[in-house]
Structure 1
């Protein structure tokens, strides 16, 4: 390194290269942090009262009386539809919102349906919400021994009370897997009581914000250091050269 810097030509080339890098870093920072120069457009404001969404009903306590009518429907749905024991009978306890465009023939065969099969051995549940005519449960299903699926899953189950010809019954209109349910159940002693929310993806550390600043400081400091070292070396060489010269003779009187 010292031999390469001992040559004045190489030092000049190094200084020129560092200056080019400094200019490139400055241009990159200006492009990265350049603000939008477009003119802002104001959103037109309409007069009158704003339209507010309908308030969400408050969830109330899930009573034992309601549990006696809702839980048998959930148990029957899991055994007949999810476990594929009797899809034909399970048609009667499902709402059109869950069946969608599935025909009765496809439903009986377990085809073209949003309800995926699962080899259920047993299930556990807890109340998610209760709006009176709509009840939501969090259901954890555990697979049978020897099944291809070995990990338990958590599903969101919902049923709505339907009244027809003076008779009311509960119809299942939702059965969707919870996000990351396999990992949640696998790592919790009480799978239904586990948090069903998925954690946000980890973001970059704030230390990365100082990386461009550190590069800029390094690009500025290196040329200045090399230039200062070159100036001191030239000054020392000049002093040594002047000290080694013989004094001029005095003019004759």
Structure 2
């Protein structure tokens, strides 16, 4: 018996064996996404880069976006001592929190300069007392009015078509779970064990039962003395 590699005569080549790749099953969600993209593009006239379905829009530098809040007039008056703010007829607790900005007018600035000074609030102790991160560049000699600006709020991301489908899928699961619960009623009965003992037994009955039907089931259980 001879071993070794099989050799072909000159000019003959070993035939190549074709391996057929198995086709992957189509993803229904992917198909729905493509249909939605085509609808947006051809019917609604939405540009490809503006489409909400499919890949999530690439946000610049993938950083969360914040929405700046408007400046509002504060209620009451304040006195500022170093990093402590004392309020008079104020309600700090109701409207302010750490991270917000306190805005106070500086009466000592020259004309043409920014007369408002801004400083971050570090803590709110009560309606009449709070702390700021650093002292103001001036010390108000008397009670002054103030403004405030709430800290920026995180913008909500626009939901994609995939997010919409995922929510619908969760809702459907919850509905199925609720339907399954309605198909059965669990009845607890007590059964006597020995001379003095009892044990609780759960009976799963198909369908929704009325109070009378539950009582009938309990009455059939030996030694059952429980009420509902």
Q: Same fold (TM over 0.5)?
A: no
TM-score, with length taken from structure 2? 0.20
TM-score where L is the length of structure 1: 0.19
More helix by share: 1
